[in-house]
Structure 1
Amino acid sequence: MAKKMLKRSTLCLLSMAMTGMSQGVWAESTSAVLPILKNSASADWCDANVQKLQQRISQLEKQTVQPQSAAAPVLAEWDQLMASFEDFAGPINLYSNVDPDAKLRKTADDCEVKINQLQTEIYQNPVLYQRIKNTKATDSIDQKYRQDILDAFEDTGVQLAPEKRARLKNILDELTKLSQQFSRNIRDNPEKLEFTPAELKGLPGSYISGLKKNDKGNYLLGFEYPEYQPFMELSERDDARKRYQTAFTRRGTEKNLTLLKQIIDLRYEQAQLFGQSSYADWALKKRMAKDPKTVNHFLADVHNVVAPLEQKEVEELRAFKAKSLKISLDQAEINRWNMAYWSEKLRKDKYQVDQEKLRDYFPTLAAQKWLFAISENLYGIQFKAAKVDAWQEEVEYYDVTDKKTGEVLGGLYMDKFPREGKYGHAAVWGVYGGSTLSKRKPISVLVTNFNRKGLNGDELETFVHEFGHALHGILSRTRYSGQSGTSVERDFVEAPSQMYEEWARRKETLSKVADYCDPACPRVDDALIQRLKSVHNYGRGLRYARQTLYAQYDMALHGADALKVQPMDVWEKMESATALGYVPTTEFPGQFGHLMGYQAGYYGYMWSEVLALDMLSAFGDNLNNPEVGQRYRQTILSQGSQKNAAQLVKDFLGREPDNKAFFSEITGQRVK
């Protein structure tokens, strides 16, 4: 899943960063590693870096660019300025989410507010805007980058009247603060729920042994996914699952419902300043979908297909529950808090797939070595471990090199295991992009919260998905860092990762995991692959119906009636219309973190999947084909946003994309 992001893209990456401090500002290094902020981060330190950037901007303002000047040198100078900005801002965004020190995370959050204020000042500066406006680009890459920069200025209000421009600046500042607080309320929630040993019946000893107890001998569980998800799938106590699920949806606290309302109202006002009828109208004009009408039509088409499937699957679960408990069908109720439990029971009974047992097939370290190996084969690269300082002792770092030339392409950090105060999902942070012009190397930071011993099938897919984001950044070979990697349109950015998920499903790839197990682990065979395929197909109605609900809710919050909207009321109404209905006292919107980065964009997950499944067709029956992998690397991954996404896909496929594979997937009719 994608998560908190920088403004430029949906993820987070890093590049040739800085390793030391000099006179309160970043000191450049030739190493592709990140700065460590311990004992360095303070308000004064942050202000010094902001001031240094402001001085560079002042110098740039004094340099005149005549109309029709060649764009290349002006764009190069601009890109170097923004790379310096990124050197400072990128690590701050990462550390506010992953650093073990709560005080440092708060310092980083405070600094990020100042960084976003500076970014707004830059893109509202009419002198800087005119410098770019006066240029003339002579090739397609410069033409697109020039237009991308102008769009960024105009979207930040450089052409607005002074009073509107000032109001927009205030709105953007306030949105930064409110979004930070929304995310912090979820991430830093210290609440622990108390469960008796009886309430943990059904959970494996390996799970229970890792839990903390209180002085009464009861277990204390928080909201990290490695604790929450197995409990919801395996605990035999219905009342305990309901209590946990309700608390989980409320972990953002009621404060977040208030914050969310303030945020959507400010976004609506932002759109009004630009003469747009809704935030969705304003946000979508630079994405593949272009307008809310197209998005809503797409979501309606998906809903019409998956809603009957969702209802059918709920009825199947009810019948299975009735049979299992020897009760009447009328008594066999399926609810939000028991859906995962009965789904897991049905999967075990019908397909003989136990998600917990899959951890034996996919030990975490072996899965990582396997993922490195298949990526190396596919893209002609190598991962070379290196010892570097990091924000936490278990964080790993790898240089990524080209297998033929030996050139260092970029770097990869991996922060795999859960800890208190850390971002709770899985994400890739992009802090810096790469640039062939300035020989700037990209770095990806992959953040997960995995079980230390092994991964189940869903977690393996998540690992591969996020690794796809990391590679999208590392294998970028763009002229300008501003067009690097995941700077593509928001509704395309998930496509490379979604396509890569297939490598976690097919025998030709999965059977190789056992090659990297030490001690030995069971090898995936044809029978297990078939069962895993059946499990993947099972529940797709519930899964895609839920994704459609999230996307439609996101669009509802950002429509023309935003000022009249109460987020909780809208959610309750929309969820009540689904097959499982709404559970009283739950507060899903207050912990829906994607609204802080994917606003009017959650539909992009399914929109991207349309393209991902279409691109997958190019690999045919051989996912391990390095010739296709190299073509994909060159036409998609290396290009960043030097071309628009539609053209990238067309270049790779050799034709216009279509949605046939996607609708075959969501209806369970895909052959492969």
Structure 2
Amino acid sequence: MTTANPLLSDWNTPFEMPPFDLIKDAHFAPAFEQAFAETRAHIAAIAQNSDAPTYENTIDALEDPNSLMDRVAGVFSNISGADTNPTLEDLQRDLSPKWAALNSEITMNEALFARIETLYNARATLDLSAEQTRVLELYYQDFVRAGAKLRGADRARLKAIMQRLAELGTAFTQNLLADERDWFMQLAKSDLDGCPDFLCDAAAEAAKERQIEGYVITLSRSLIVPFLQFSPRRDLRQRAFTAWGMRGENGGDTDNRAHVSETLALRHERAQLLGFETFADFKLQPEMAGTPDRVRDLLMAVWHPAKAAADADAAVLTEMMAQDGIEGDLAPWDWRYYAEKRRSAEHDLDEAELKPYFQLDQMIAAQFDCATRLFGLEFRELDMPLYHKDARAWEVTRNGRHMAVFIGDYFARASKRSGAWCSRFRGQSALGGEQRPITVNVCNFAKAPSGQPSLLTFDDARTLFHEFGHALHSMLSDVTYGYISGTSVARDFVELPSQLYEHWLSVPEVLEKFARHAETDQPIPAELLSRLLAAENFDQGFATVEYCASALVDLAFHTETPPADPLQKQAEVLDRIGMPAAITMRHATPHFAHVFSGDGYSSGYYSYMWSEVMDADAFAAFQETGDAFDPDMAASLERNIYSAGGSQPADVLYKNFRGSLPKVDALLAGRGLA
């Protein structure tokens, strides 16, 4: 297996792409076995080097551009998220604690840390570049935060905690995927009376994928949200919404509640071992926000006007429901249905009229065109093997220079976890030779029947632009060290490039060019476009409340005593802030993957809003020039944000672009809540 294993061979493929057509599930285990062994040998060679520590023999050596682990893990992690199966899930459960153990071995290697600390203490005398100094400081900080200064029982305990947290995160993710994969609601054509054709077509395609007669509503957001918007059947809306809200909370083997409770307890213990009062104090220390109090202040400054707007909207929707002869309170499965009716009435917008103008292929062309106009990038579609037949790839160039390979994987399927994300098979670096990135966007849009164009909602198109903003952050990266390349920045800064890029979708000239009718190829009428853009902030009270509630629960989980019953704590927090009864958290705790599938966004779900304060202000810089594609502003944006990675602290990067940090007023104005 080893000699025939493509993961262990040189990739003599165009752009050194993974040879997806040759990689089989059985190749991963032996490849990881060798990767673990090579990584341990490489670290031992650095740590045990008898020469005095230098930047080259320590930091540069750690930045191994030929790491087998990076190569194998890059392929496995992406495929196991986007096209998993029981074999890969078993291996993922086996690997997660081993990865955690290896990371602990590295960061708690006393000899290795001693070399880093020696360089760190002498950094002012080493004649380092600004980037080298930044990388050294981050290595030192990250090793300390990973327990490098712990000794004895504390060190052993932290290792055990990290391994167990890795197991819990993997189990959480797989349980959530199982619940999403296994539930569906089979419908007859009459059950979809009153629903637009695009929803019926998507439901038919979902049934076909599952080899079921008729129509199916699944828990994919691209199916369930339009069903909740358009179905006049309140009983079916309630059934679907309840299943959506109960993911991870259904009892049995896929229930996540015990995992959440144990995760919170272990995170708290981890933070205290490292000298912090709470996990939020630990987690926020290196972020822009810095402290839980600053996060809470931001969220509450937005919460109060958002809740007021949502309460006012709820009164209107309740009256609409009463006019339909339905007594009682507005329920969560009613909100989207009556909000859509209200949007249609007040803004004369019909989703069935709008959606044909948002073809997936046209919106992909739009995101590429904006990148061409802003950054001079060009895109050429490639014909090569990928990990799934629905995935597509493009070479990205600028002035003839290869910049990246971009992969787009856009359609929902049972083997893919929910949501949308950007990842990479390979990151950018220049140490030891230029290495350009292979970046992937993964979405979960509803797939149209064969022969028909796949249509997006305007929100779907926004998601497409959002994830491509992350991809640009990776593809435009221009630093020496992979440790700080692309999206390797503060968590509450990483959403700035993605959320900022969303703004170009709403530029009228972009939509006038690319929003073309799927059947007639006519551009979106100016009057319809005007109504669409006028309604952009419609229902922002609802959207902001469901988001802020999730962020506030996340913060409470990690600033207060770990709860024995996380759902009781969730209820207490929502009661404390006065959560409207007809709105639920965007991500209830048992399916809050941002926070519990790993600790990437733990104590950090606020990050989207923190970044939104900046993205509103950053796009205003273009608006002030009178040109959304102003070349000088675009050059500054690339230089200071998109290409800079983590080469400077996030606040410095932003100030270099804009001159100063913005206040929350920009966000409130952008959401229509000022």
Match of 2:42 among 40, 56, 59: 56
Secondary structure at the counterpart of residue 449 of structure 1 = strand
Structure 1 residue 216, shift from structure 2 partner: 10
Q: State the partner residue of 2:483.
A: 482
Please name the residue that 1:285 is paired with: 285
Q: Distance in 1 between matches of 2:587 and 2:293?
A: 28
3-state SS, counterpart of residue 608 of structure 1: helix
Relative to structure 1, the CA distance from residue 586 to residue 196 in structure 2 (aligned partners, 3 Å threshold; closer, same or farther) is farther
CA–CA distance in structure 2, aligned partners of residues 308 and 251 of structure 1: 29
Please state how far the C-alpha of 1:583 moved relative to its aligned partner: 8.8
Establish whether residue 566 from structure 1 lines up as the match of residue 548 from structure 2. Answer: no
The aligned counterpart of 2:627 is 622
- More deviation in 483-492 or 74-83? 74-83
Query: Counterpart of 2:666?
Result: 661
Report the equivalent of 2:174.
Answer: 184
Provide Cα deviations, 1:614-641, integer angstroms capped at 9, x if missing partner: 1111111322223322221111110000
CA 1:81/1:109 → structure 2, altered by over 3 Å: closer, same or farther?
farther
Equivalences for 1:402-481 in 2 at 5 Å?
402=398, 404=399, 406-437=400-431, 438-452=433-447, 453-481=454-482
| Other-structure match for 2:505 | 504
- The alignment status of 1:172 with 2:168, answered yes or no, reads no
SS in 2 for 1:536: coil
Change (3 A) 1:318 1:584: closer
CA contact under 8 A between 1:334 and 1:580: conserved in structure 2?
A: no
C-alpha deviations, 1:626-670, integer Å up to 9, x for none? 33222211111100000111011111113343333112123445x
* Aligned twin of 1:3: none
Q: Distance in 2 between matches of 1:514 and 1:227?
A: 22
8 Å CA contact 1:97–1:105 kept in 2: the answer is: no
Residue 371 of structure 1 aligns with which residue?
367
Q: What CA distance in whole angstroms lies between the structure 2 residues aligned with 1:348 and 1:611?
A: 31
The alignment's TM-score, normalised by the length of structure 1, stands at 0.90
CA distance in 2, matches of 1:572, 1:200: 34
Deviates more, 1:269-278 or 1:131-140: 131-140
CA deviation profile, 1:118-177 (whole Å, cap 9, x unmatched): 122111111111222222352221111101111111111110112111111111111111
Counterpart for residue 451 of structure 2: none
Aligned residue identity for 2:39: L
> Which has the larger displacement, 391-400 or 28-37?
28-37
CA–CA separation in structure 1 for the residues paired with 2:352 and 2:491 = 34
Per the alignment, do residues 107 and 163 of structure 1 end up closer, same or farther by CA in structure 2, a change over 3 Å counting?
Answer: same
Q: Structure 2 counterpart of 1:178, which letter?
A: L
Residue 10 of structure 2 corresponds to 27
Q: Is the 8 A contact 1:397 1:411 kept in 2?
A: yes
Cα distance, 1:575–1:195 mapped onto 2, change above 3 Å: farther
1:66-81 to structure 2, matched below 5 A, reads 66=52, 69=54, 71=55, 74-80=58-64
Q: Are the aligned partners of 2:260 and 2:566 in contact in 1 as well (CA < 8 Å)? A: yes
Q: Which residue, out of 152, 155, 161, partners 1:162?
A: 152
Give the match for residue 355 of structure 1: 351
| Residue of structure 1 equivalent to 2:604 | 601
Residues in 1 aligned to 2:66 and 2:494: alpha-carbon distance in whole angstroms: 21
Give 2:556's aligned residue: 556
Task: Return the letter of the residue paired with 1:50.
Answer: F
Q: How far apart in 2 are the matches of 1:343 and 1:153?
A: 49
TM-score, structure 2 as length reference: 0.89
Aligned partner (choices 641, 644, 648) of residue 639 of structure 1: 644
- 2:195 aligned residue: 203
Note the C-alpha offset of 1:197. 3.9
Give SS of 2:317's match: helix
Q: 1:488 to 1:457 in 2, by over 3 A?
A: same
Greater relative contact order (Cα 8 A, min sep 6): structure 1 or 2?
Answer: 1
Q: Is residue 98–residue 422 contact of structure 1 (8 Å, CA) maintained in 2?
A: yes
CA contact (8 A) 1:551 1:603 kept: yes
Alignment of 1:342 onto 2:330 = no
Q: SS in structure 1 opposite 2:615? A: helix
Counterpart amino acid of residue 574 in structure 1: V
Q: CA separation in 1, counterparts of 2:485 and 2:615?
A: 20
Note the C-alpha offset of 1:417: 1.1
Q: Is the 8 A contact 2:278 2:558 kept in 1?
A: yes
For the structure 1 residues 275 and 216, does the alpha-carbon distance in structure 2 shift closer, same or farther, using more than 3 Å as the test? closer
Secondary structure of residue in 2 paired with 1:445: strand
Contact 2:28-2:76 at 8 Å conserved across structures: no
**What amino acid sits opposite 1:468 in the alignment?**
G
Task: Give the structure 1 partner of residue 133 of structure 2.
Answer: 143
Q: Assess, with a 3 A threshold, how the Cα gap between structure 1 residues 65 and 142 changes in structure 2: closer, same or farther.
A: farther
Tell me if structure 2 keeps the 8 A contact 1:287–1:489.
yes
Structure 1 residue 75, shift from structure 2 partner = 2.3
Give distance in 2, aligned partners of 1:73 and 1:666: 51
Shift in Å at residue 436 of structure 1?
2.3
Give matches, 1:312-327, under 5 Å: 312-323=312-323, 325=324
CA displacement, residues 541-599 of structure 1 (integer Å, 9 cap, x when unaligned): 1111111111100011111311x352111222334554532799999311111112310
Q: Matches of 1:624 and 1:418 in 2, distance apart?
A: 33
Mapped to 2, the partners of 1:222 and 1:625 lie a distance apart of 43
Answer whether contact 2:594 2:602 (CA < 8 A) is retained.
Answer: yes
Contact preservation (8 Å) 2:553, 2:570: yes
Amino acid at match of 1:658: K
2:394 match: secondary structure: strand
Q: Name which of 210, 227, 232 aligns with 2:228.
A: 232
Kept after mapping to 2: 8 A contact 1:246/1:585:
no
Q: Which runs of 5+ in 2 are unaligned?
A: 448-453
Q: How far, CA to CA, are the matches of 1:584 and 1:443 in structure 2?
A: 37
Letter of the 2:465 partner, please give it.
Answer: V
**One-letter amino acid of the counterpart of residue 154, structure 1:** V
Alpha-carbon deviations, 1:209-253, whole Å to 9, x = none?
324289996644321122211111111111111111111111223
Which ranges in structure 1 are unaligned for 5 or more consecutive residues? 1-19
Deviates more, 1:526-535 or 1:596-605: 526-535
Distance 1:591 1:543 in 2: 18
Preserved CA contact (<8 Å) 1:32 1:410:
no
Over residues 357-413 of structure 1, what are the superposed CA-to-partner deviations in whole Å (9 max), with x where a residue is unaligned?
Answer: 3221111111111221121111111112222221112211111111x3x11111111
Q: 1:65 to 1:154 in 2, by over 3 A?
A: farther
Structure 2 equivalent of residue 131 of structure 1: 115
Q: Which residue of 2 aligns with 1:99?
A: 83
Structure 2 letter corresponding to 1:66: A
1:290: Cα distance to partner? 0.8
Alignment-mate amino acid for residue 358 of structure 1: L
Q: Check 1:49–1:178 CA distance in 2 against 1; reply closer, same or farther (3 A cut).
A: same
Residue 82 of structure 1, CA deviation: 8.5
Contact 1:461 1:504 in 2 (8 A): yes
Q: Give the root-mean-square deviation of aligned CA atoms.
A: 2.6
Q: CA separation in 2, counterparts of 1:97 and 1:54?
A: 26
Residue identity matched to 2:591: Q
1:117 counterpart residue number:
101
Distance in 2, Cα, partners of 1:353 & 1:32: 47
User: Is the partner of 2:302 in helix, strand or coil?
Assistant: helix
**Residues 246, 369 of structure 1: alpha-carbon distance in 2 compared, 3 angstrom cutoff:** same
2:245 equivalent to 1:249: yes
Specify whether residues 196 and 484 from structure 1 end up closer, same or farther in structure 2 by C-alpha distance, changes over 3 A only.
same
Q: Deviations over 1:101-129 (max 9, x none)?
A: 43234324533442232122111111111
* Contact 2:546–2:583 (8 Å) recurs in 1: no
Contact 1:92-1:111 at 8 Å conserved across structures: no
Which segment drifts farther, 49-58 or 140-149?
49-58
**What SS class does the counterpart of residue 412 from structure 1 fall into?**
strand
| Offset at residue 535 of structure 1 (A) | 2.2
